[in-house]
A and B are shown apart, each in its own frame.
Chain A
């Protein structure tokens, strides 16, 4: 019963969180967005004390339910391990007790905390479970989902239906994709062979929760009088935490999956209130509620484009159009709601949720070392459209804070810079003004190229005070390979 309940809840959470990364229409986030927000590390980084306290209390009461139900990476491992167990009966009972690898667990945790504190994000977010799962879902699962959707769109088009529309499937960043693949293979391998090893050795969230769960009020308890020492419970424990000789369960590693309860034919294991032990005070060291210092501002290197300009398929009657190349930006652009680069990098867990939901193909993970895998904006495929604030709605970590559509139009995330040498007005001697025509802020003013000539062609200028950095101008500029207007980010966002 308890096991079934756990499986049902885990399925709901796993499917829900996964759908957050798959659904590009933005409809599910209104309903399921909270599932990302109750993830531990994002909640900590968002300084969401309510959620953090609730999760710790949950753990103190019932053990590491979080790891079995809420954490999508944990559930993914359970699925992989379960599949292996299904292949042969022998494989289901492939586990055995092993003592906790304390030095590894706490060593990694210490490194993790130091990493966060020093702003060496790459290492910290590499092993954070929700971030790791987000990258896997966004890079490996989402493309499959989108291809499936495109197949339906293809069919719908032939049936003259508007039920489905097709979306571009593309790799936002090769390096982040590689990280996702490696993570998936590594975690997948461990889960296939050793069940929850990752969670009990590497995962910092697992280690922190373990510090609490060892004192949990409810826990699986072995009734030594009923136990006949058959050892079955230990052989199927994917956390390898049941020490049968001692009849002890290492509660810091137990993820309360309840598998052992169902396995024991004697009914010797039950999930019950432990007697004779009071709940000690929680140790606060690990929650890491203090803000991390951010030391690297200003040292942001210029990112090199992962994408190359791509040849368009040419119809005979149509001129070739090359895709625009990604310009070199002095300062990266982050979405409205990020407040500042500092705030953004301090909170972001690189889970890729915002990248997954960005309908305009603006957000993609950075390839730069300092901000590796953290999202940034670029406008070769679209621009940050004025009617959209999805990234700010989905961010669970407070890196992109909620911004209303109205507010967004007054947040300056960057400013446009014109390069008149490559503007088509000068190179092709034609009238253009496409940047000004599409500027939602009215920041681009067309002025006479030759002030003395009333009939003069008009060239674009930018009123930096009004520009919000949305990139409409850059995206719609006809100059190639580099556009004649591009956006530079602001380190600190301002309100007009």
Chain B
């Protein structure tokens, strides 16, 4: 395991350095509630951000990267969801001021609005003070024209003439065959390698969700394409307990280490699932570090491995950002004992039958209008709160039944509930966690039917 005491307190040549101390109102961020502390209580945790060096070109990358998949949304005049640009600007300013310099987006995030919003916020800072990562997300249409259009549009949206980190978006599902269809047969990968040579792309890599076999294939292709970096899902649960068809992060990281490829980490917090943990797991984490947030454990875990260049976090709220800045300024790597403790924690979490949904919304919109992530997250919440009854004889049955049925109707409008899922399977191929969504929805629907009929 890679658990060297990596304390890379490099100075970062940027105005941020000096002001990093000024982090005010940092939160004692508590469990799943994630509340900020009293405004008056100014804490000075931040010495300075930990940076990692890109071995290929010497980029000093902040260990905390900003995932631009979860920007705050508001409603516009027509009741459509739009990104809250003011809030994004504030978050970006605060992040850059405190040393964050890696921003990861994609043309498809947030109904296609993420790149533009991120571009607007970043444009207000000197281009050399941050790195932009975006992706070729040609899922639905992978013709050369369409892919090319998407590539060009990213420059336009992000208002830049070079992209620091460019990724082939989410390969692995569908194996090498799908990879070939999306990037090889249409000549896009050759084109992107040319672009790298020309300096329009500074680093070329891919993000991965899939099985070990296809990962091995992509590692073999390293000789041919020379991956500058690879983005993987790594956290203390997936380390050795990856679910479904996904590969253990430990295997992925070790394979990358062997080849000297640095990793960018996605889902370090499993879309918040490692922050919103069942009560007694939260107690366990708090007992060991009463002043640290539940989430901080997950971020420290991801940052501890030395082959990691950057850990992405989709921080919707200022309090998330502040907590993560606190965790990474500087990063306190986990000890062997800590790692053992987290492994035990991961094993305990396996006992909770949550659905491994990270609320990435790739499955949406469902053509039949189902609000898939809302249904799964609601279910997970009830699992974590112990509100799932195993039978009508259970002690908590009456309470659990009412809580589930009432909160379900509150969380999801009737016409978007699981009973409406027809099982057309459109969503299945979109899920990076390989969840068999219709099967899960039908299972949840059956549970609800049993509750309603009192036949559990």
In this complex, the member of A313, A318, A319, A432 whose beta carbon has the largest number of chain B beta carbons within 10 angstroms is A318
Whether a CB of chain B sits under 8 angstroms from the CB of A162 is: yes
Given A424-B422, A434-B420: A312 touches B410 (CB 8 Å cut-off)? no
Given A162-B402, A317-B111: A430 touches B415 (CB 8 Å cut-off)? no
Whether a CB of chain A sits under 8 angstroms from the CB of B453 is: yes
Q: How many interface residues does A have (CB within 8 Å)?
A: 30
A313 and B419: CB pair below 8 A? no
Whether a CB of chain A sits under 8 angstroms from the CB of B221 is: no
Given A162-B407, A318-B365, A320-B369: A476 touches B419 (CB 8 Å cut-off)? yes
A385 and B452: CB pair below 8 A? yes
Whether a CB of chain B sits under 8 angstroms from the CB of A431 is: yes
Within 8 A of A (CB), among B397-456: 402-403, 405-407, 409-410, 413-416, 419-426, 442, 449, 452-454
Whether a CB of chain A sits under 8 angstroms from the CB of B80 is: yes
A313 and B406: CB pair below 8 A? no
Which residues does chain B contribute within 8 Å of A428, judged by CB atoms? Answer: 367, 424
Which residues does chain A contribute within 8 Å of B81, judged by CB atoms? Answer: 315-317
CB distance from A221 to the nearest CB of B (A): 57
Given A319-B365, A387-B452, A387-B453: A162 touches B424 (CB 8 Å cut-off)? no
Residue of A at shortest CB range from B455? A387
Whether a CB of chain B sits under 8 angstroms from the CB of A438 is: yes
Apart from A157-B410, A317-B361, A318-B369, list 4 A-B contacts with CB within 8 A.
Answer: A315-B371, A317-B111, A323-B415, A432-B423
Which residues does chain B contribute within 8 Å of A162, judged by CB atoms? Answer: 402-403, 406-407
Which residues does chain B contribute within 8 Å of A321, judged by CB atoms? Answer: 368-369, 415-416
Q: In the complex, A320→B366 CA distance in Å?
A: 10
A318 and B371: CB pair below 8 A? yes
Q: In the complex, A317→B453 CA distance in Å?
A: 32
A476 and B369: CB pair below 8 A? no
A432 and B410: CB pair below 8 A? no
Q: In the complex, A386→B452 CA distance in Å?
A: 9
Which residues does chain A contribute within 8 Å of B223, judged by CB atoms? Answer: none
A432 and B369: CB pair below 8 A? no
Whether a CB of chain B sits under 8 angstroms from the CB of A49 is: no
Sample of 21 A–B contacts (CB below 8 Å)? A165-B405, A165-B406, A312-B415, A314-B79, A317-B361, A318-B366, A319-B367, A320-B369, A321-B368, A323-B415, A382-B414, A385-B452, A387-B452, A430-B425, A431-B422, A431-B423, A432-B424, A434-B419, A434-B420, A437-B423, A478-B368
CB distance from B192 to the nearest CB of A (A): 29
CB distance from B106 to the nearest CB of A (A): 15
CB distance from A151 to the nearest CB of B (A): 14
B interface, how many residues as a size bin?
35 or more
A316 and B80: CB pair below 8 A? yes
Within 8 A of A (CB), among B102-123: 111
Whether a CB of chain A sits under 8 angstroms from the CB of B364 is: yes
Whether a CB of chain B sits under 8 angstroms from the CB of A210 is: no
Residue of A at shortest CB range from B404? A162
Whether a CB of chain B sits under 8 angstroms from the CB of A433 is: yes
Residue of B at shortest CB range from A164? B406
B453 and A476: CB pair below 8 A? no
Given A162-B406, A430-B422, A437-B442: A317 touches B364 (CB 8 Å cut-off)? yes
Which residues does chain A contribute within 8 Å of B402, judged by CB atoms? Answer: 162
Which residues does chain B contribute within 8 Å of A385, judged by CB atoms? Answer: 452-453
CB distance from A160 to the nearest CB of B (A): 9
Over the window 212-231 of chain A, the binary record of Cβ atoms lying under 8 Å from chain B Cβ atoms (1 yes, 0 no) is 00000000000000000000
Which residues does chain A contribute within 8 Å of B364, judged by CB atoms? Answer: 317-318
Q: In the complex, A318→B81 CA distance in Å?
A: 10
Which residues does chain B contribute within 8 Å of A478, judged by CB atoms? Answer: 368, 420, 422
Q: In the complex, A64→B57 CA distance in Å?
A: 100
